[in-house]
Amino acid sequence: MNSKDEREPPVSGAPASVSAATFTIPLQLTVSIGKPTREARVSEVAPLSAPQVQRAEVEAEAVPAPDFELARAIAAYVPLLNASYQLAAQTPFELPAGYTRLADVRVGGMEAVDIESTLTPEQQLAVEHDRRALVQGATPGNTEALADPSAFGFVVREDATGAVLISIRGTQTPAEWLADFVPVPVPFFESPSMGFVHVGFGVFYHKVRGSIQAALGKIDAGTRVTVLGHSLGGAMGVLCAADIERNMGRKNVDVCTFGGPRTGKIDFRIHFNHEISRCFRAVNALDIVPHVPSVITGWNHVGVEIGVNGKGGSSAHSLDAYLDGLKKLAQGVGSETVDFSRQVMSIRLL
């Protein structure tokens, strides 16, 4: 819809004194209450072309995002997320210099079973599909089961500032997940009044919530907390930030995700954007994961998009590709226009 009113030209011969007309249009709304139908799998939805994606997603003109900490993202965010995958794969890792490990983000004991016992068969099926993605493919080219699938990341302290960072992994090999992914909306478990989110994202955040809450319980309430996530971990990170702000008494919370899918419906987006003022989503050109679930079926992104065009790794979804795109932005290679063939630093709201 155009922001300016569009008026037809005056009709020839019309009286000069007539400048407007008033019409009364009856409006009838019908509300049906019944069993919701399932949403289509990603593989059942025709893919959108780049121009169609732009039309469906862009709500504002591209503008710079000056609050995005590009240097911090390169030096800390991506290395922490890489280390999170290595933790799950039980391979050697190093945290970035200047960061101290406080705790691990892990699936808890009771949390692993309690929430799933309340789910319907359809919801359980969706969760199981997400679980298969999260327990495989910790590193590009490796689709074997993880050595430690209960490990999702870290809670670390930034030595120079005292800030706390929470990193949450997802999957670096999302092809099979995308092929049969069916989004199933449920009220956000930790705060139902925030709106509807995909059940799998909600369940897996709930499973690791205890480890995060325990770590933050030892940190001063005014400390800055930055939540990081990649892929499905990006959706979990969005839920984590909302939970920390709403339920853990912390208001100094910000978010940065990489290749994250849409987490919730429009109601969740409205509440989240109102309460979390600094949320950035790095989105690499040709990475399909940020474009699911479909905006056409009411799923919406939160925060501000940082568009990049990185290469490397096994795919456009890999952290190597995202790191390459961030480094290109740091080198000044880019444009502040919404153009999928060039570097982008823009605001996108859907």
Of 180, 186, 190, the residue nearest 199 (C-alpha):
186
DSSP letter (8 states) at residue 4: S
Taken in order 161, 106, 254, 231, the sign of the CA dihedral is: positive
Q: Which residues of the chain have pLDDT under 70?
A: 1-66, 111-112, 137-144, 334-350
pLDDT at 172 (0 to 100): 87
pLDDT at 246 (0 to 100): 96
pLDDT at 141 (0 to 100): 54
Here the tokens at position 247 are 């339920």
- Interhelix angle for 121-134 vs 199-216, to 10°? 60
pLDDT at 25 (0 to 100): 39
CB atoms under 10 Å from CB of 343, counted, come to 20
| CB 263 within 8 Å of CB 203 | no
| CB 250 within 8 Å of CB 244 | yes
Q: What are phi and psi of 265, to 5 degrees?
A: -85, 180
Give the contacts of 83 (CB within 8 A, at least 6 positions apart): 93, 94, 95, 154, 167
pTM recorded for the entire structure: 0.80
pLDDT at 39 (0 to 100): 59
Q: Which amino acid is at 311?
A: K
pLDDT at 112 (0 to 100): 60
The secondary structure of the chain in percent helix, strand, coil, rounded to multiples of 5, reads 35, 15, 50
Distance CA 229, CA 246 (A): 19
pLDDT at 136 (0 to 100): 76
